[in-house]
Amino acid sequence: MSLAPEPAAIERRTDAPAGSVPMQIVPASPEVLPLLEELFDRRAAGDARSCSCLWWRVRARDFGTSAGNRERLRRLVQDGPPPGLVALEHGRAIGWVGLGPRPVFERIERSRVIPRVEGPTPWAIVCFVVASDARGRGVAGALLAAAVEHARSAGAPAVEGYPIDPSAEPGGRVRDTGAYVGTRSMFERAGFVVAAPTRSHSGGAPRVVMRLDLA
């Protein structure tokens, strides 16, 4: 299994006011862990406070308490490789994307509702968290683009995501908490294509498997 090196910080400018500090996207490391935890602990972060982005990494029977999940996240960050990327701006974390080689995500590997797509084993992009006061500025899209480059630098042959497809629902609206996996349109803008439907839902909307070949 190919693991990612520690790339240099990626600078990306969102739709922030002119003259503002560019957003940096960096691998989750012990140095930025306190900022990441502070992001997860904000009330507006939703399930991230209790999940700590462990939901996809463990089987249902192994999913722990909020405190246990947080401790497990700390060990992942401290031991490496980075379990995700963190968006930083003005000395605070404003976003997160969880990713890694798909085999590390046991819930996906064992899923009966998310199909496996033929081809080389990809990296998986599994969740996004964006601070409430940073939404609507393209932070999630920037994190997705950075995640693709991070996987590419590690030698990943392909990248998969499992976003929701709001267009499949009447009115095209879903609960905010369901969008933590991203949306089909966001992945399409990043060059991903629908590889397979799923029998999985989030926030009332169906998920799809989307894939981007890197080889």
Give the DSSP letter of residue 164: B
pTM: 0.88
Cα–Cα distance for residue pair 79/131, rounded to 1 Å? 26
For residues 93 and 26, the answer to whether their CB atoms sit within 8 Å is no
In the chain, % helix, strand, coil (3-state, to 5) comes to 35, 25, 40
Give the DSSP letter of residue 21: P
Question: For 54, what's the count of Cα atoms within 13 Å in the CB-facing half-sphere?
Answer: 25
Q: What are the tens digits of pLDDT across the range 186-204?
A: 999 999 999 999 999 887 8
Tens of pLDDT along the chain (215 residues) come to: 333 334 445 555 444 443 445 899 999 999 999 999 999 998 555 678 889 999 999 888 888 888 999 999 999 999 999 999 999 999 999 999 999 999 999 999 999 999 999 999 999 999 999 998 998 899 999 999 999 999 999 999 999 999 999 887 666 565 556 688 999 999 999 999 999 999 998 878 899 999 999 98
Looking at this protein, which amino acid is placed at residue 55? Answer: W
For residues 11 and 22, the answer to whether their CB atoms sit within 8 Å is yes
pLDDT for 6 equals 44
pLDDT for 176 equals 58
Q: What are the tens digits of pLDDT across the range 27-41?
A: 999 999 999 999 999
Q: Pull the structure tokens for residue 13.
A: 């400018």
Instruction: Compute how many other C-beta atoms are within 10 angstroms of the C-beta atom of residue 193.
Output: 12
Q: Is 52 exposed, middle or buried (0-12, 13-18, 19+ CB in 10 A)?
A: buried
Question: For 101, what's the count of Cα atoms within 13 Å in the CB-facing half-sphere?
Answer: 15
The class that CATH gives domain 22-213 is alpha beta
